[in-house]
Amino acid sequence: MDEQTRLMHSHSGVGMAGHPGLPQHMQEGTGGSDGDGRKQDIGDILQQIMTITDQSLDEAQARKHALNCHRMKPALFNVLCEIKEKTVLSIRGAQEEEPPDPQLMRLDNMLLAEGVAGPEKGGGSAAAAAAAAASGGGSGPENSTEHSDYRTKLTQIRQIYHTELEKYEQACNEFTTHVMNLLREQSRTRPISPKEIERMVNIIHRKFSSIQMQLKQSTCEAVMILRSRFLDARRKRRNFNKQATEILNEYFYSHLSNPYPSEEAKEELGKKCAITVAQVSNWFGNKRIRYKKNIGGYPSPCYQSDRRIQ
DNA sequence: GTATATGATTGAAG
DNA sequence: CTTCAATCATATAC
């Protein structure tokens, strides 16, 4: 209650002349014979405040208590209020509301898409579906063990992510509470406005969310590595059968002047070879580049290998 | 074991 | 988007 009024001082009370809380000798502003004594007194108090951080904790605590009970304390407090009122404009420049960090949003979206963030079960199956989709169209049930392995590892990442996130959240709350208590405690000796507390809390939250961003960043990396380890089609590459290779080669060599099959031709070839259009495109891409690399030395027309000659 | 062949991926360029 | 070029990761030959 009393604290509340103290907190308000900074933006409600200017010019405290005649304040009922002030000691009598402060209210009559004439410098009497004890003027030097008073100056000395205030100087002592300020000196004590300045050196309080150099003292041990117990010592400081005792000193603070002594200061709080000092007869000059209310006067000093009011002076601080006034000084603050004059300087309060200077701290208003700080950015009040920054826009949401685009990188953070990107990370959040990705974690959500991978099923690391978001709801427990739904997230998992969504990730599995994404994995199935990424593994390259209808590849059949043959890789289900690999997928369950993938899911297990993803769940591990997910659990680590959530425990860490929770830990940071808790630490952030604890720290915020601590700082607020500290500020409240300090407001007994110096004026602290609610705005300042709010600013401090914002600073703390920003710091902690930057730590969380690092966590999200590394989680994303872990997921990407996992994906590339389990879902990269290169890992389970199979050669096309001889017949398919023959068909493709036949087309290639009979269109050697322009070995670029149209979309329809690719579909046709894909159908004949029982592979996808994308695979046909890959094959022709590889074939063209590897043929070109060899044609320079003209190795041996009998072998259709594209072996690089060096 | 190594060396080569080959399908897939990636990133730049058009 | 497609293609090229380099590269990866596996398959196959040796």
pLDDT in tens, A159-218: 999 999 999 999 999 999 999 999 988 888 888 888 889 999 999 999 999 999 999 988
pLDDT in tens, A26-47: 444 444 556 677 677 777 777 8
Is the shortest CB-to-strand distance from A121 to strand B under 7 Å?
no
Give me the CA A249–C1' B6 separation in Å, rounded. 13
What architecture is the A242-293 domain classified under in CATH? Orthogonal Bundle (1.10)
pLDDT in tens, A271-301: 999 999 999 999 999 999 999 988 765 443 3
Q: Report the pLDDT value the prediction gives residue A300, as an integer from 0 to 100.
A: 39
Give me the CA A234–C1' B9 separation in Å, rounded. 8
Give me the CA A234–C1' C9 separation in Å, rounded. 5
Q: Report the pLDDT value the prediction gives residue A125, as an integer from 0 to 100.
A: 52
Are A154 and A127 in contact by the 8 Å Cβ rule? The answer is: yes
Are A293 and A306 in contact by the 8 Å Cβ rule? The answer is: yes
pLDDT in tens, A96-113: 566 777 778 888 888 887
Q: What whole-number percentage of chain A has pLDDT above 70?
A: 71
Going from N- to C-terminal start, the domains of chain A cover 61-93, 102-132+141-235, 242-293
Top pLDDT among A267 and A119 is at A267
